[in-house]
Structure 1
Amino acid sequence: MFSCSVGLEDCLEEIDAQEIKSLAIYKDGKNDTLYFPDNKNFPYESAGRLLRNGRLVQRLRKKAASHANVQLEEGTVKFLIEEKGVVKGVIYKNSAGEEITAFAPLTVVCDGCYSNLRRSAVHNKEEVLSYFVGYVTKNTRLEDPHSMHLIFSKPLPCVVYQITSNEVRCAAEVPADSIPSIANGEMVNFLKKTVAPQIPDGNLRETFLKGVEEGLLEIKTTATKSTMSAKQV
């Protein structure tokens, strides 16, 4: 275990994370900017960081491995070991293909929305509400890189924001029951002809379209889900 607070700021600098201080909103041809509160009595600056997630995880792993009392081993977790409803450890497959059993006083699961461990850890009913379709526009700098740009487009919103000094992430939300195919070009057509015209003309729209044209093989989709407990159902 290591202190995230000691190494996190260094990791953010190493991965070129971008500072965010406001939310820019666009709807029906109008726009406004909501700035984060500037509270002098608060011990920390009111700002966020926009970044490439994978790079941060890799830097945190590297930072953790630099501590003498930390041992990192890469593997794929297959099962959680439980005793009377309490997680005691994991069974994982290492890089050599061997199944290893490991016990620990604390097991932390951070495995994403497609985790194969989710059903064993949380017994809730899941419902896919929509999908976020995203890609990165490279070699680009927004005119206002310190704002997250939220566009209330139809049928669902989209966002554009700086994640490194020369990369911008663009993401559009798509209804779960009508997601266009990436393979046959429907998704590109949807982004160019349905979403792009609703983005303010100029730097934002140009950045959005540039990423569609240049990042065809890097468009990714992520499900947005609602989870309900058995009692709520």
Structure 2
Amino acid sequence: MLVLVVDSATPAVTAALAEVSDDAVVVRSQRRAVDARAHGELLAPAVEAVLAEAGARPRDLTAIVAGLGPGPFTGLRVGLVTAASIGQTLDVPTYGVCSLDALGLLDGKVLVATDARRREVYWAVYEDGTRLTEPAVDLPATVAGRAAELGVAVAIGEGAHKYAEVLGVAARDEPLYPPAAALAALAADRVRAKAPGERLTPLYLRRPDAVAQSVRKPVLP
């Protein structure tokens, strides 16, 4: 079963094609570009590129897997709208995966932290791939206290590197961003079971930077 994987919850814009079989998940092609200001410009060409590289056509797709975040409003929305649109157009199911879960799919106990801007991080703690805390957005100093309480000694993700001194734990070099293979693996059981498609609900965790005014200002004649 051929699955399109997309994630735009971080500055990395990711698209990949994964083959999901009864006992394995294999990434056949993938593209990743890191640019926090160009999610909209980069994702569609990346999807076209991975299809072309694998010699596949859109109608060959069995399902769409999308990273749900948490992530900044604009970039995350690009990935989810793209995934939902492709799924609807092709009449194939869409499955969502927490983007932090893809980074936390590792052995041992690890703090996953991605950059949330505003000097904050999106974070969660995992043990052997199982999430121990709910995704949250906090100041690095707050996260450091929680990590210490939970006995975490290793961190991963872009936020872990950016705020390594404050977090007070060793930051692993890779991966910095959610791996396509892990996103596909986390949705593989649903793909194999041909589960009903899901509404792709983003994990924003906070309000967007731009909000509509709640009160209209009077206009002077």
Same-fold call, TM cutoff 0.5 = no
Which of 1 and 2 has greater Rg?
1
Greater fraction strand: 1
Q: What TM-score do you get using the length of structure 2 for normalisation?
A: 0.29
Greater fraction helix: 2
Q: What TM-score do you get using the length of structure 1 for normalisation?
A: 0.28
